[in-house]
Amino acid sequence: MGAKAKVVVITGASAGIGKACAEAFARAGYRLALGARRLERLEEVRSTLAQLGAPEVLCVALDVRSEASIEAFAAAVEGRFIHVDLLLNNAGLASGLSSVASGQDVDWQAMIDTNLYGLLRVTRRFLTGMLKRGQGHIINMGSVAGFQTYANGAVYAATKHAVRAISGALRLELNGTAIRVSEIDPGMVETEFSLVRLQDKAKAKAVYSGMTPLSPDDIADCVLFAATRPAHVNIDHILVMPTAQASVYKTHREPT
């Protein structure tokens, strides 16, 4: 089956890395099933994705924190497409920047429900079909925070460590099938991520001051690379950082 017939499901596809990945897969001729809470943002990019080469684009509202929303999304995808070839678990967020001592339940719950439960439930829902077909590919969006921890980021790092654990366990559980499991682990990427976390445009912009961060397109390149390897090749994970970033707590910045 050629790439033009393949179907990719992308969660959190309305902006940032998810949107960039949708554009990359559109250029590669994939059919797209896109989910995000902001359906109007998805609809805004539909024509662009078609112009880039996607033969079919399905946009459906999706909140990965809700089992009912996941089920409605999956039902819509399955109603349009015979099967799903690739699932990109991209939806995720960081909420708040507090120590454990001063952390808020609402922030912790948002990260756990989105980054952990959301990923698990979406994976379970689409994995059923992949197992029946005996083929497929799951790509999870991780983070450098899944390898290193940092002050005031305990819960976010915990969820991304969990993504690594889930990806590793899935590879073991699916060994012997033709289903591949990959993980992309970015460092600093300039998206709405910091704005969502800090709720302040100036503070969010300052996160990337004096250095050149990764762009969403940089991550989309990694995702597409993993997705387009021959069937006998699995990219376990790609840890990708800006040149200026050596770790979660060491980034070189030029004077501004």
**Residue for token pair 């969502």:** 196
- Altogether, the residues listed in the chain come to a count of 256
pLDDT at 255: 86
> Which residues of the chain, if any, have pLDDT below 50?
1-3
pLDDT at 2: 42
Provide the token pair at 128: 């059923």
Condensed to tens digits (0 to 9), the pLDDT of residues 71-81 reads 999 999 999 99
Condensed to tens digits (0 to 9), the pLDDT of residues 189-204 reads 987 665 566 566 777 6
Q: Which of 253, 60, 226 is nearest to 142 (CA)?
A: 226
CA distance 7 to 239: 25
Q: Which of 30, 117, 156, 208 is catalytic?
A: 156
Q: Which regions of 3-100 does DSSP assign to beta strands (E)?
A: 7-11, 31-36, 57-61, 86-89
pLDDT at 93: 93
pLDDT at 201: 73
pLDDT at 131: 98
| CATH 3.40.50.720 fits domain 3-251 | yes
Cβ atoms of 205 and 215 within 8 Å: the answer is no
pLDDT at 203: 72
Q: What share of residues in the chain are helix, strand, coil (percent, to 5)? A: 45, 20, 35
Cβ atoms of 89 and 9 within 8 Å: the answer is no
CA distance 195 to 179: 35
Condensed to tens digits (0 to 9), the pLDDT of residues 82-118 reads 899 999 999 999 998 899 999 999 999 999 999 999 9
Give kind and range of the element (H or E) at residue 186.
strand 178-186
Domain segments of the chain: what residues?
3-251
CA distance 56 to 49: 9
* 30 included as an active-site residue: no
Q: Which regions of 96-154 does DSSP assign to beta strands (E)?
A: 135-141
Using CA atoms of 7, 8, 11, 17 in order, give the dihedral in degrees to the nearest 10.
Answer: -140
pLDDT at 202: 75
pLDDT at 204: 64
Provide the token pair at 204: 């969010």
Provide the token pair at 100: 């454990």
pLDDT at 13: 96
